[in-house]
Structure formats: C-alpha cells, structure tokens
Structure 1
Amino acid sequence: MRNVVVFAVINLVVLGSLTGPAVIGLPMLVERLVTDDTRTATLAFVITCGAVTAIVANPLFGIISDLTSGRFGKRRPWLIGGVVVGLGGSALVLTAESVAALMTAWIIAQTGYNASLAAVAGLIGDQVDERQRSSVSGVFGAAAFLGTLPPLLLAAIIPTRLDVIILAMPVVAVIVVTICCTVVSDPPLTRDMRSPLPRGAARELRRIVHNSQFMWIWLQRFLMQLAFSLVTSFTLYFVMLRVSRSPEEATPIVAINTFIGGTGIVIAAVVVGFTAGRRGSYGPYLVAAACGLALAGVLRATAASEAHLWIAAAVGGLSLGGFFAVDLALALRTVPRGSAGSHLGMLNIAETLPQAIAPAIAVTILASAGPGPLAGVSDNYGTLYLTAALIALIALIPMAFLRRVLTRTAPAIPSRLQRARS
C-alpha cells in the first residue's frame, strides 16, 4: 500500500500541473492574444496541438520505459525528467506573447508531463495484483482529480494571478516526484528482458493491436472520454453566454463547476473502486457510468443558471469517477506480463485523443447547428451537449464483446497467501 500511495501522489501532482493551464490559463491567454470572433477557434487549435502531442508522447514513453535499462530503474528517469520538462513548458506558457509561442510551450509541457504519466502507469501494472486493481484504480483516479483542485481553488480566489495558477503545481510536482522516486520500488530491467528499442517497440505495438479484448476496452474509454470532453467543452465561453458574465466573473464559476465535478469523481472513484474490487464484476458500474454521463449532457444542455450547471457537473463527475474506478482494472486483466507501460500508454491515447478532436467537433457544431432542440434553449450549446449524451450511450456497445473479462473468472489469491504457499 505504500507504493500505491506513492503512485497516487505522483499522479495527483502531475495531472494537477496540467489543470491550471488547460482549464484557466489557455482560455485567458487566448482571450488576451486574439479578438473575440477568433478566440474559440484559436483555443481549439492550441488544445488540439497539445492533445496530439500527448497522443504521441504517452505510448512512446510507455514503450521506452518498458525497455529502459540502468541502475536507476525503468520508470524513475522518466518520472523525474518529465516533470522537469513540464515545469519549463508551463513557464513558457505563462510568458507566451503570440499564438505560435503559446502552442509551442503547451506542446513542451504536454510532452514532459505525459512522460511522467506513462511511467507511473507502468509502475501500477508492474506491482499491483488482480484483487487490488479495482480499489487501486479508484484511488488512482481520485488522486488524479484531487490534483486539479489546488489550481482551481487558486483560480477562484485570485483569478487575475495567472502566474500562481499556472506555476504553483508544476513547482510542487518537481519536488514531490523527486522525493517519491527515492522511496518507490523500481527494479532495473533484467538482462533477459532487454532488447534494442526499435525491435522491442515494434513487438509491443504488434502485441497491443492483436489484443482484441484490450482494443474494445480502448474504444470504450475513447467514447466515454469524448463524451466528457464535449460535455465540458468551452465552459468559460458557455458561462459567459448563458449566464451573461464577463471573463473575470465567469472564471470563479468555472472553477467551482470543475471543483464540484472533481469532487464527484473522487467520491465515486473510491467508493466504486473498493466495492467493485470485492465483487470482481465490473459490468453494472460501466452501464451506470455511461447512463449517468448521458444524463449530465442533457442537464448541461438545458442549464440556464450557475446552480443548474453545478448539478450537471456533480452528475457527470460521479459517473466518470465510477467509470475510472473499474476501467483501468478491467484493462489490466488483458495486459500481458511485462507490457504494462506500453499497453497503458496506448490506453491513455483513448483519454487524450478525444481532447484533440473534441474542440474541432465542438467548433463545427457550434458554427453549424441552430438553437438547441430542447425547450428554453436559444443557442447551439444545447445541440453540442446532447451530442455528448448520445456518444456516452454508444459507449455501452463494446460491453457486448467484453463479457469474458467483465467478471473475475477465478478468485484471486491474496499476495500474502501466495508468499506463504511459495
């Protein structure tokens, strides 16, 4: 459990480092750099560039960390190096004076932080057994969203201090990850597992593509994350339009909205994680998560006040937290031994790819759709969020192909009994 806590803390500070720029920093900086009529498209472009970078960096560093040899272990070099590079990218985001500079800085930050995320995911696959995976998945997911709270709290208290909002968590991440790496268990790669990087990377990619159960899980995560990304698209601009607020007035509302959603994720991830771990059956939790996220999309489509928006955030957060609690554990049931970094790095693409395409989809819907089909909605944000609700329901389809792994087929033997038998 000590290692589990260490992994969760690392995930907390790394994802927290991405929250300040992604939720508050980039929209505010784009607002300063371009005119009102181009801000949505510009923000979508910058977010897409960062998401594409994450799509490449996460599995790449997952594979590299699987194959890294040296006395410092497979994962430690990428954990520390990633947060250091991420801090540098965050500082460049803050000082960007053009859209090109902002895009470049965000790419650097995403590269660094995704190297660390791939490494910590690999540690979970290396060191957590089947019976604990759901509870660990819940704790891991909860810690990830707890990391979003400090920058959001700062944004609510001091919305004009972008330097503090953007740089506070990255500085903490460098310190915390460095300390954690001194206590985490990370054995070096054994001689018989070493192989040249190109040949090893090609072998891992073939293994992933031919793992059909894993690829269905990948598709389900992709659809759920796409639905969530669309549900939360352009929240700042949505609040400014629906609630008629200035950017400065809307920022605390957005921060509170994200805080409520994150709190729901934390609660559901922990509760569902431990409950599902005891039962070993994940199907009912996946169904509830998809239906709940669809409901959140409908609630947001009809939102006309801060309170209505916050209710939608709570429902969406509880739903996504329940999904995260079992999704990672389900994927680990299909991962071959020794390939955790590469498989989970590829799984993270299903989380980051929607961030790349969701802004483009959202911009297209907002530009082409008419007023929402629901009564009382006079803008095209209703159509956007109803589309997200539909995608969440489509995410139930992969379950038809996952029956074999949805339930634990044999009772797992606790690790202490395994040691006793050996």
Structure 2
Amino acid sequence: MPDTAREAQPGRFLLLYALAAAGGAVAYVPFLTILLPLRMSELAAGREIQSLAYTAFAGAIAASIANIAFGWASDRTGTRRPWILGGLVLSSMLLVSMRLAETVPVLVIMIVAWQFALNMMLAPLAAWAGDCVPDHQKGVLGGLLAISPALGALAGALITLPGLAGQETRLVLVAALVALMVGPALLFARPHPMPQLMDQSSVAPSSVSCPRSTVVRMWLARLLVQIAEASLFAFLLFWFTGIDDTVTDHDTAKVFSVVLGVSVPLAIVVGRWSDRTEHPIFPLVLGAGIGSVGLAIMALSDALPGAIAGYVVFGLSTSVFLALHSSQTLRVLPKPRTRGRDLGLFNLTNTVPSLIMPWLTLALVPLFGFEALFVLLAALCAIACILLATLRRS
C-alpha cells in the first residue's frame, strides 16, 4: 500500500469539521421542530397541523432537489468552501427574515427558498469530508458526526430558555450559532491534501468486490433505518402516553436527550474500533440488528419501564448506525469527481422517510395499534441488517 494511503488528517481538522457539521444540524433542528410550529400556530390558528404538514412536504421536496443540485455544482466547480460560505450567508439571511412572513403561502415560499440556500451549504459540506478524510479515519469521523443531532437538540433547548430571547430574536440567535460553528472550519481548517481521494481511478473500497451493489445496499439500508427512526421520533410521545397517561412531553424529551447524549461517546468508541480493526461495515450490521431487537421489545411492552428500555436500545443502536453510516458512505461512492451529486442522492434517505412515515402510521396504528407499527419497523431494520451483513467482500 502506498504511504500516501496511510496519511491522516490532523485531529484539529476533524474537530473543526465535526463542529461545522453540527452547525448544519443547528441550522434546521430548532427551527423545524420548535420555531416553525410556533410561527405556524400564529399564522394559521385552527389549521396549523394541516398547514405545517403542507409546509414540511414542500420543504422536503425542495431540500431533496437542492442537495443534489448543489452537490453537483460543487463537483463541477471543483471547490467546496465558496458554496458552503454562500449557503451559510443566504440561509442565515432567509432564516432571520422568516419573521416578516404574514401569511402561510408567503411563509411556505420563504421556507422553500431557505431550504435551497441551506442545502447550498450542507451538500458541499458533506462532500468536503469525502475529499479530505481517508478511509482509515472514517470511523472516527462518523463517531464525531454523532455530535450533530445532540447539539441540534441542545440548541433548541437553549434558545427556548425562559427570558433568554423573544420569538423574533430566537431566529437571530440560531443564525449566530450556526455562523459560530461553521465559520471556524471555513477560516481555520487546513486539511492535508489527499489527491488519492480524488483519483478518478479509485472507484471502490478495497473491501468490497461489487461497488454498485454495495452503493445500492448501503442506500436501502439507511432508508429502512431512517423510516423507523423518523416514525419513532414523531410518535413516541403518543405511544408513551397510551401506556401511561401520566407521561409528559418533558419526560419524553428527557428520554430523547439521554439517548442522544450517550450515543455520542458510544459512536466515537465504536468508530475508532472500526478504524483500528478495519471492519467498517460490521458496526452498521450490529446497529441495524440491535435496532430491530429494540423495536421488538417495544412491540411486546405493555408497561412503561419496558417501553423506555426498548426505545433506549433502539435509539442508541440506530443513532450510532446513522452517524457511522454517514462517514462510511464516503468509501463506497463510485466516482470521486461526482461525490457531491452522489451524496445528494444518498440524502434522499433523510428526506423520503418524512414523506412515507405519516402514511405508514395512519395505515397501521388506527386499525392494529402501535404494536403492529413496531413489528413492521423491526422487520425493516432486520432487512437493513441482512442487506449489509451479506455484502460480498474480496
């Protein structure tokens, strides 16, 4: 193996990149989960749920298109940072301007524009890691990426602290946090050149003999796990209260917070292990498999302790799965020169579940209860586990 293949990026770059990736999560998590619903309740009193659903649908479509388009654009120009900077500035300006929307149609239009600007930042940012981080550091990178959802949730809690900021000031506060997190990577990150990662002849990871099959399996596995994760995120409170009507939204938030907090060090440890042992896919197999077990526990639980235990098993395993999958995807993409576009196609696994999940839940829960939903989601995670466990290796 050439010496260049074992060159490593300094820890400083990995940390600055992880901070920037977390800034991407902060850019949308507090807004979409807290600030947008509050604003929608002001503009569409009595029809806020329907209006929010239409807005989420339009936003998901815009995000899907924009992520592919700007990933492709950054491929064509051969540079990532100007696109990241442009997206940071435009998305921040649009976010702060949301307070000017006085009707639901105007707000929807602004959110679509904001999604385009946001993905101008997110798509090249994701591809930048593929340009810079060698395969033997992708496990560590994946572990560090687990910080993103945790900091996204923490930012939501921070900006809603009583007395800290008013409704309009919260948008400014979010934009400032994003700039403080993404800016240092743009200004101070100096990654070592990794020309071998941009070599057009490097079309597949050495551990896999069928690159196209691997890409498809990786894509499907993430989609299946994301459908399960999105379903649980949206309806966990309803299920908990159905088991025990004394459960509050604060109790559910605490469970989410514990899972997100513990998943960060766990993902870092597992990621480092996968780098040292050169088993990049095995943690993904375990994550999907254990996630299926957690869902099975939830399907069989009729008391709150068992329900929480099942969710903790599911939440921890799938949080680690999703974080490590994000980095290991970079090693299976077939063409370095179209890395941004291809990651945009992988990003569909993040947006499509939000379009599938509501219909899946409405079809099952009213007729068969949450148990049937959990059984189906457990089957999806089990299929994801099989898809990854049966990858052909050289």
Map residues 350-361 of structure 1 onto 2, 5 A cutoff. Answer: 350-361=349-360
**Counterpart pick for 2:152 among 148, 152, 161:** 148
Measure the CA separation in 1 of the matches of 2:102 and 2:245: 28
With over 3 angstroms needed to count, the CA separation of the structure-2 counterparts of 1:115 and 1:234, relative to structure 1, is: farther
Q: Write the deviation string for residues 229-283 of structure 1: whole angstroms up to 9, x where unpaired.
A: 111124566667766589xx63x44543432232133132211111111111244
Question: For the residues of structure 2 that align with 1:234 and 1:92, how far apart are their CA atoms?
Answer: 31
Is the alpha carbon distance of 1:51 and 1:263 closer, same or farther for their aligned partners in structure 2, counting shifts above 3 Å? same
SS at match of 1:403: coil
Corresponding residue for 1:330? 328
1:316 to 2:314 alignment: yes
Q: Which residue of 2 aligns with 1:220?
A: 221
Identity %: 25
Query: Which letter maps to 2:155?
Result: P
> Against the structure 1 CA distance between its residues 330 and 169, is the aligned structure 2 distance closer, same or farther, given a 3 Å change threshold?
same
Which sits farther off after the overlay, 276-285 or 27-36?
27-36
Which residue among 22, 27, 39 is the counterpart of 1:12?
A: 22
**Paired residue for 1:44?**
53
Q: How does 1:11-410 map to 2 (within 5 A)?
A: 11-34=21-44, 39-68=48-77, 74-94=79-99, 96-139=101-144, 141-154=145-158, 157-158=161-162, 162-163=167-168, 166-185=171-190, 211-235=212-236, 250=249, 252-298=250-296, 302=301, 311-335=309-333, 336-366=335-365, 369-372=366-369, 381-399=370-388, 402-404=391-393
- The answer on whether the counterparts of 1:151 and 1:168 sit within 8 Å (CA) in structure 2 is no
Tell me: CA distance 1:253–1:83, structure 2 relative to 1, closer, same or farther (3 Å).
farther
Task: State the 1:176 CA deviation.
Answer: 3.6
- SS of the residue corresponding to residue 394 of structure 1 reads helix
| TM, length-normalised to structure 1 | 0.75
Contact 1:93–1:105 (8 Å) recurs in 2: yes
Q: How much is the aligned-residue C-alpha RMSD, in angstroms? A: 3.4
CA gap 1:261/1:96 in 2 versus in 1, 3 angstroms: farther
Report the Cα offset of residue 397 of structure 1: 3.5
The amino acid across from 1:227 in the alignment is A
TM-superposed deviation, 1:329 = 4.0
With structure 2 as the length reference, what TM-score do the two structures score? 0.79
CA distance in 1, matches of 2:345, 2:353: 13
Q: 2:102 and 2:241 mapped to 1: Cα distance?
A: 24
CA deviation after TM superposition for structure 1 residue 9, in Å? 1.0
Q: Deviations over 1:209-247 (max 9, x none)?
A: x9332122111111111111111124566667766589x
| Structure 2 match to 1:2 | 12
Give 1:213's aligned amino acid: T
Question: Is contact 2:16-2:184 (8 Å) kept?
Answer: no
- CA separation of 1:57 and 1:242: change in aligned 2, threshold 3 A: farther
Residue in 1 aligned with 2:4?
none
CA apart distance, 1:396: 2.2
Matched residue type, 2:22 = L
Q: 1:95 to 1:123 in 2, by over 3 A?
A: same
After TM superposition, give the deviation of residue 123 of structure 1 in Å: 1.2
Q: Tell me how far apart the structure 1 counterparts of residues 319 and 101 of structure 2 sit (CA, whole Å).
A: 34
Q: Is the 8 A contact 1:268 1:321 kept in 2?
A: no
* Shift, 1:353, TM fit: 1.9
* Number of residue equivalences: 366
* Residue identity matched to 1:395: A
For residues 258 and 24 of structure 1, the distance between their equivalents in structure 2, rounded to whole angstroms, comes to 15
Distance (whole Å) between structure 1 residues aligned to residue 355 and residue 344 of structure 2: 16
Helix, strand or coil for the counterpart of 2:337?
coil
| 1:351-390 C-alpha deviation (Å, 9 max, x unpaired) | 2221233234334445xx3252xxxxxxxx4444443333
User: 1:198 is matched with which residue?
Assistant: none
Task: State the Cα distance separating 1:8 from its structure 2 match.
Answer: 0.8
Relative distance call for 1:347 and 1:109 in structure 2 (3 A) is same
CA contact (8 A) 1:33 1:99 kept: yes
Paired AA for residue 91 in structure 1: V
1: CA distance between counterparts of 2:15 and 2:52?
35
**Structure 2 CA distance, aligned partners of 1:313 and 1:170?**
32
- Matched residue of 1:395: which SS? helix
CA distance in 1, matches of 2:356, 2:311: 22
Q: Distance in 2 between matches of 1:158 and 1:310?
A: 28
Corresponding letter in the other structure for 1:319? S
Deviations 1:38-90 (A, max 9, x none): 55444333222222222111121111111115xxxx11111112122222333
Structure 2 residue runs of 5 or longer lacking an equivalent are 1-10, 199-210
